[in-house]
């Protein structure tokens, strides 16, 4: 059944939501709730991906600064999450809306069945007119199962709910040709139609003391969204009525324009792109890169120049071209040791080597198990 509404995902960074001293900006949460109500009147449903739990927990526990050890970070997240969800609940109720809390980890999306259950729950909440407030479950998350940043989580949620638009509210008003804090001549980029190595190189690091992401994580997330046919925007959290204005088609921040029409990408491939973290990388030569990006080919061992990381067959890998740009992500057909030995070898050589028997007649990554980034 086709939804009778459009869906917007908004990602709110810690530096936008929380003061440097850890005090939550309740007025900002109230404004998001007000815009959610206004969006509902115009046929939009809102999903919030909110950072800020750890930042809110630091002052609650009497800590002078953000801790660095994992148990203390988890404790801050546990206490701060209560502060955060209370604020969303109270401010959304005041605006006549209902908010809910959804906590996710990589464990919830790395298995495809769990990924689909998360999708179904979010879609049902949106259908019911609820605004899900999604965050990483930092209380139980360790490095091995972290999303790492909520920009990636926002891209994942946008794909899960088939969003029409993903908005990242940041401490900067969009993408520039260089870091405007360091380079006064940096030019603002209002629209991006293709993310190449130059665009990625223009992304600077975050200057915030309370956030974990930078512009580069936002660019990578936008690239995945473009591949999925979902438009995205990076703009300042201080921009008045940004969400409502964007819903009305106004130009705010940097707009990342996907290819014309929503691409028909199977949910499995979106899961490959976002559901699990990369376990390794294969660097390919120019011929293999062209075959993958322009002809939709599988990756053959002969096209691999280098294998990085230790992984097993069935793990998710990044595919990098000679310039260092990640052009695709896919499922490995063999262990890292096997691919290292098979790299650069033709199929007849592989077939004649008993150590590579498992890979004989098979690609390193099959095209059906690979998503190529826009």
- For 318, the enclosing helix (H) or strand (E) is strand 316-320
Answer whether residue 238 shows pLDDT above 60: yes
Mean pLDDT of 302-329: 93
* CA–CA dist 358, 15 (Å, integer): 49
Q: What is the pLDDT of residue 8?
A: 98
DSSP assignment of 193-239, as one string? S---HHHHHTPPPP--SS----HHHHHHHHHHHHHTT-EEEEEETTS
Contact 86, 57 (CB under 8 A): no
| Per-residue pLDDT tens over the stretch 78-113 | 999 999 999 999 999 999 999 999 988 766 666 677
The Cα 305–Cα 288 span in angstroms is: 10
Strand (E) or helix (H) holding 50: strand 44-50
**Position 261 confidence tier, pLDDT thresholds 50, 70, 90:** low
Element (H, E) at 241: none
| Domains of the chain (ranges, CATH numbers) | 6-267 (3.40.1160.10), 278-372 (2.30.130.10)
Check if the beta carbon of residue 165 is closer than 8 Å to that of residue 233. Answer: yes
Q: What is the pLDDT of residue 202?
A: 72
Strand, helix or coil for residue 104: strand
Residue 46, pLDDT > 70, answer: yes
Determine the pLDDT at residue 234.
95
Determine the Cα–Cα distance for residues 128 and 124; give it in Å rounded to an integer: 6
DSSP string, 292-307: HHHH-PPBPGGGEEEE
CA-to-CA distance for 37 and 113, rounded, in angstroms? 33
Q: Quick one: average pLDDT of 176-191? A: 88
Q: State residue 8 phi and psi, 5-degree precision.
A: -120, 135
Residue indicated by tokens 């998710």: 316
Question: Structure pTM?
Answer: 0.82
d(CA 232, CA 91): 26
- Element of type H or E holding 303: none
Q: What is the mean pLDDT of the chain?
A: 87
Q: List the one residue out of 28, 36, 35 whose CA is nearest residue 52.
A: 28
Q: Is the pLDDT of residue 300 over 80?
A: yes
Given the structure tokens 């690239």, which residue do they identify? 223
Per-residue pLDDT, 285:
96
Q: Which tens digits make up the pLDDT trace of 283-295?
A: 999 999 999 999 9
**3-state SS, residue 253:** coil
Residue 108 is predicted with a pLDDT of 67
Indicate the burial class of 239 (C-beta count within 10 angstroms; 0-12, 13-18, 19 or more).
middle
| pLDDT at residue number 210 | 39
DSSP 345: -
State the CB neighbour count (10 A cutoff) for residue 339. 24
């Amino acid at each position: 059944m086709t939804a009778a509404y459009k869906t917007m995902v908004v990602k709110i960074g810690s530096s936008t939501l929380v003061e440097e001293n850890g005090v939550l900006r309740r007025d900002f949460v109230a404004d998001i709730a007000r815009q959610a109500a206004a969006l509902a009147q115009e046929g939009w449903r809102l999903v919030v991906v909110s950072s800020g739990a750890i930042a809110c927990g630091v002052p609650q526990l009497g800590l002078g600064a953000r801790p660095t050890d994992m148990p203390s970070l988890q404790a801050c997240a546990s206490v701060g999450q209560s502060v955060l969800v209370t604020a969303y609940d109270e401010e959304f109720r005041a605006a006549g809306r209902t908010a809910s809390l959804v906590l996710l980890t990589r464990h919830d999306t790395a298995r495809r069945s769990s990924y689909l259950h998360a999708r179904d729950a979010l879609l049902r909440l949106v259908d019911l007119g609820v605004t899900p407030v999604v965050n990483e479950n930092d209380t139980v998350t360790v490095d091995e199962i972290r999303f790492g940043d909520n920009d990636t989580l926002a891209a994942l949620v946008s794909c899960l709910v088939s969003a029409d638009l993903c908005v990242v509210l940041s401490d900067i008003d969009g993408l520039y040709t260089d870091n405007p804090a360091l380079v006064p001549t940096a030019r603002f980029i209002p629209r991006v139609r293709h993310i190449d190595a130059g665009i990625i190189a223009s992304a600077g690091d975050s200057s915030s003391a309370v956030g974990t992401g930078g512009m580069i994580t936002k660019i990578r997330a936008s690239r995945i969204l473009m591949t999925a046919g979902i438009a995205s925007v990076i703009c300042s959290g201080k921009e008045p009525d940004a969400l409502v204005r964007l819903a009305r088609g106004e130009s705010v921040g940097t707009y990342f324009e996907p290819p014309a029409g929503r691409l028909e990408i199977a949910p499995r491939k979106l899961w490959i792109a976002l559901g699990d973290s990369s376990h390794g990388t294969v660097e390919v030569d120019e011929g293999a890169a062209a075959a993958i990006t322009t002809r939709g080919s599988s990756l053959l061992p002969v096209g691999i120049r280098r294998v990085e990381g230790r992984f097993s067959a069935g793990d998710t890998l990044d595919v990098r071209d000679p310039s260092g740009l990640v052009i695709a992500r896919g499922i490995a057909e063999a262990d890292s040791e096997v691919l290292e030995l098979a790299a650069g070898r033709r199929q007849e050589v592989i077939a004649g080597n008993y150590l590579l028997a498992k890979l004989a007649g098979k690609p390193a990554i099959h095209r059906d198990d690979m998503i190529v980034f826009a």
